[in-house]
Structures are given as structure tokens and as C-alpha cells.
Structure 1
């Protein structure tokens, strides 16, 4: 999971700040869709096997900065907020 979070955060860093929250939601939606597809049909979706890392690897990513860098932490917070909102919306 830490690798998934890092790859997704770096994908968010590759776009301007106003585009990060929508991209975080897109990454999560693609991962969820691919996960359902893979479980149902027993094969990978074009989005991957249903991991956040697979969704992030399909996009440009910023180089790995220091984990305590301000922009990295802000992008990580955007991602974690999207994950929390998705879990709340799903009811768990």
C-alpha cells in the first residue's frame, strides 16, 4: 500500500494543483472498476488489476521527492482525503 500511495501521489504532483482532487478521484474510480472487473472475469482490465499503483502507472508521474517535501505532503493529503470520502460514501 505505501508504494500505491507514493505512485498515486507522484501522479497528482504531475498535474497543476487545481487538477489534483479530480485526478485522485479518477485514479480511485479506475482502480475500483478494474478490481471489480478482475474479480468478476478473472483477468486484468485495461486499467490494470485493480490497484491504485496500476491506475497511477498509466499516467505521467513526478520524480520521487523527499517524503517531507511540502508539495508532496499536500498531494498526499489530497489523495487521502479522496480515499476517506470514497470510504464514507460507500459506508465503511
Structure 2
């Protein structure tokens, strides 16, 4: 996966916010796996992955419906941001 920037986390959280709450953690892990696979494809072929894009989490997230971005006063959105960050931390630990 490409380096993670704020926009990646925000778009992933918006994708989670648009999904049912019970499916969010699984969806987040799937988007991370798709970003990893897409970057491998890009590195191998020199072309974008046809389904998941350029290997960024943002690209994987934007293949889904995104909820409008609320502010941090929205606790559901905060939980989605927390889920994305937790999954990214877990993913990094698994790679070590």
C-alpha cells in the first residue's frame, strides 16, 4: 500500500460510515488488502489495478459509496476514523 495520508484515512472512514456498522471492521480490512494488492499490481505491470486503482487506501475506498464527510462532532464518524486507524496499526504490526 502507498504511504497513508490524511485523505486516505478520511475517505476510508467515509466508506465505513456509508456501510452497516456491523460490517465496518471487515470492510476496512478488505480495503487495506485491496490497496496492498493494487500496489503489487502497479509495481508488477506499471498500470493501475482495474478494480482498486493505484495502491492507495483512498483509491480503494473511492471504489465504494462514500458518505458526506461530517465534522468530528459526529461520534459515528469518529468511530469510523478510529476503526481505520486501528486497522492500519494492526496491519503494520502484522507486516513486521
TM-score, normalised via structure 2 length: 0.91
- Give structure 1 regions of 4+ aligned residues with deviation exceeding 3 angstroms: none
Q: Deviations over 1:29-86 (max 9, x none)?
A: 0000001110111110011000011001100111110134211110011111111111
Within the candidate set 65, 68, 86, 2:91 is matched to: 86
| 2:41 matched residue in structure 1 | 37
RMSD: 0.8
TM-score, normalised via structure 1 length: 0.94
**Ranges in structure 1 where 5+ consecutive residues have no aligned partner:** none
The count of aligned residue pairs is 91
Partners of 1:51 and 1:67 lie apart in 2 by: 24
